[in-house]
Amino acid sequence: MKRRDFLKNTAVVTAATVLASCDVKTEFKATVFEKNGTLPMVISTWNHGIAANQAAMDVIQSGGKAIDAVEAGVRVPESDPEMRSVGYGGLPDREGQVTLDACIMDETGNCGAVSYLQHIKNPISVARKVMDETPHVMLSGQGALDFALEQGFKKENLLTKEAEKRWKEWLKESKYQPIVNIENHDTIGMLAIDVKGDIAGACTTSGLAWKMNGRVGDSPIIGAGMFVDNEVGGACATGMGELVMKTLGSFLIVELMRQGRNPQDACEEAVKRIVAKQEYKDMQVGYLAIDKEGNYGAYAIHPGFNFALHAAGENKMHDAASFASK
């Protein structure tokens, strides 16, 4: 049953020194913001965003909607066996299982997500099916896999030889320690505005390498890994999901923009919420945000976070400012 029918029928570094005592205050200086909006536009996290952005912009320039663009865009790194943090080729948990999380959201507020999904190369497309074909927002684990197979997705072994090799190397010591900006990529979060001015977002990941079996991060959580409000803008996150979930960073950023903050200021405030209360020295979080006019912001806890921006006919990498570099 289609979602709309169901609803109608049923409802009609070394960081800057942190607080050593209550008397010490964390200084925070905002980045000067200048309007930078150009439409249509696509923005996404990390180096793998260049190819993803191009696929998304191809959809938009051919007359497609933002929701179709973000799905097509993030499928690119999902399908790449060389990616170690997204989809096929992602590094496994400590049991050697590749488990995937993803969410997607359109201009009307409809959304779908999957968590702890195994054996399906493109979790973002399963999340899209959850959004379009069910009355639910999220399916998880075996239920998500069963649904994917019912929808015609192919069951595959996602543990590549290279990922398996690295997992077996890790098993020799079985030491788990998050590393800031490891391999300069992580979750891919993407936001797009199409020619009609509609906004959509997507977020997909294989999660932390060597995580505990069953761990789910922020990526499939609407409001944490990604959030869109077509009246205001959108935001997405990358990095240590636990820190993002504790502050619902993407929802926070959009709400700050609703209250009048620009995208850059909103991203910086979301990072400030983390560093004021959480232990962040060895953990990275990066945020991207866009407003309705296509103005964008980017900010991270530590230096090293970069993002891809496709606007005004150019698709380029940019470095984000960070709290620890101030």
Residues with a known catalytic role: 187
Beta bridge partners, 288, equal 236, 298
Q: Please confirm whether the linkage preceding 40 is cis (ω < 30° from 0).
A: yes
Between β-strands 111-117 and 138-140, what pairing exists: parallel, antiparallel or unpaired?
parallel
CA dist., res. 164 & res. 201, Å (int): 31
Longest dimension (CA), the chain: 59
CA dist., res. 16 & res. 176, Å (int): 25
**Joined tokens for residue 261:** 């903050």
In the chain, alpha helices (H): 3-11, 49-61, 66-78, 123-133, 141-150, 161-171, 241-247, 249-258, 263-277
CA 137 distance to own-chain centroid = 17
In this structure, which amino acid lies at residue 212?
M
In this structure, which amino acid lies at residue 251?
F
Cβ 264 vs Cβ 31: under 8 Å: yes
**Joined tokens for residue 164:** 């398996």
